[in-house]
Each structure stands twice: as C-alpha cells, then as structure tokens.
C-alpha cells in the first residue's frame, strides 16, 4: 500500500490462485481503508473476476464455481464447438466469458473508517483459469 497526500489512498495486491474458484481477501482490504470515501477495486485481467458474495458458508463458494462451470463449459465440450479463441486451452475462452459476466471492479463506501460491507459480504477473486496465476488488484480510496 502506498499512502499519498490529500484524499487519495492507493493500494495494490497480488493474489496467487491455483485453479478455478473463489479466493477471499476481505481482511487485507479492510485493513487498508480509512477516513470517508469510496473504495474502488480493479482487477487488471480479463480471465478472472472480483466478486462480493456470502462468506459465512463455504458451500456458497463451491456452488458458485459449480454453477459457472456448468453454465460455461470448457471449449472441448460438445455444445461449445462454435468457439474460435481456443489456442490457450479449453478453459481460455470460457474464462473470458465468465469474466465478462462478473465484475472487473468493485465499489464499497467507507464512512468514518468503517467499511460498509454487510455482515456476510466477503471480497473475492473469482479465478476462471485452471493453471495457477498471480492476479493483480489495484485499489483506490477517494
């Protein structure tokens, strides 16, 4: 995290992923917010997503991954033979499709240093690729 003058606070996270699924980093984010403003998180990739979802029951996370795997199956699945962008593997174009449908950025209000997340709202990277990746998230508090 790099603090700057005035009302702006910039943040930067690198998150390691190891296959499709949700990776929570709520605590890392919550530790960085201060004052009053809106926190913007932005992921610099087009094959993974940011997501706010329930963090009470881990089955919500596995069910979400299972749903999106069925909804957008790999390119070698019979129903997906119309896809052209497949040279990086059968999980490549489905990852772009999932990333188009799920957030690239999140905005969360902060009031007097208090993060306005609901009781069970957690912040996640939703990885759509199969092989391990290092994902970069930029944050800005304004």
The contact mask relative to a copy of itself for 60-99 (x = CB under 8 A, - = no) is: x-xxx-xx--x-x---------xxxx-------x--xx-x
In the bound state with a copy of itself, the residue whose beta carbon lies nearer, of 18 and 57, is 57
The answer to whether residue 125 forms part of the interface with a copy of itself (CB under 8 A) is no
The answer to whether residue 116 forms part of the interface with a copy of itself (CB under 8 A) is yes
**From candidates 76, 111, 131, 132, binder to a copy of itself by CB under 8 A:** 111
Q: What is d(CA 136, CA 82) in angstroms, rounded to the nearest whole number?
A: 31
Beta bridge mates, 137? 13, 43
Interface with a copy of itself by CB under 8 A: which range of 13-21, 23-31, 101-109? Answer: 101-109
Shortest CB 19 distance to a copy of itself, Å: 18
Strand 133-141 versus strand 37-43 pairing type: antiparallel
Neighbours of 47 (CB within 10 A): 20
Q: What is d(CA 127, CA 65) in angstroms, rounded to the nearest whole number?
A: 9
Shortest CB 14 distance to a copy of itself, Å: 13
Neighbours of 23 (CB within 10 A): 17
């Amino acid at each position: 995290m790099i603090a700057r003058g005035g009302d702006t606070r910039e943040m930067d996270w690198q998150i390691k992923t190891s296959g499709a699924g949700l990776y929570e980093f709520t605590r890392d984010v919550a530790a960085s917010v201060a004052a009053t403003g809106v926190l913007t998180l932005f992921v610099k990739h087009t094959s993974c997503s940011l997501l706010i979802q329930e963090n009470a029951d881990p089955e919500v996370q596995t069910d979400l991954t299972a749903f999106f795997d069925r909804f957008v199956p790999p390119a070698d699945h019979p129903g997906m033979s119309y896809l052209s962008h497949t040279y990086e593997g059968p999980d490549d174009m489905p990852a772009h499709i999932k990333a188009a449908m799920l957030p690239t950025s999140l905005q969360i209000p902060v009031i007097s240093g208090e993060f306005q997340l609901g009781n069970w709202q957690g912040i996640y990277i939703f990885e759509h690729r199969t092989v391990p990746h290092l994902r970069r998230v930029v944050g800005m508090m304004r």
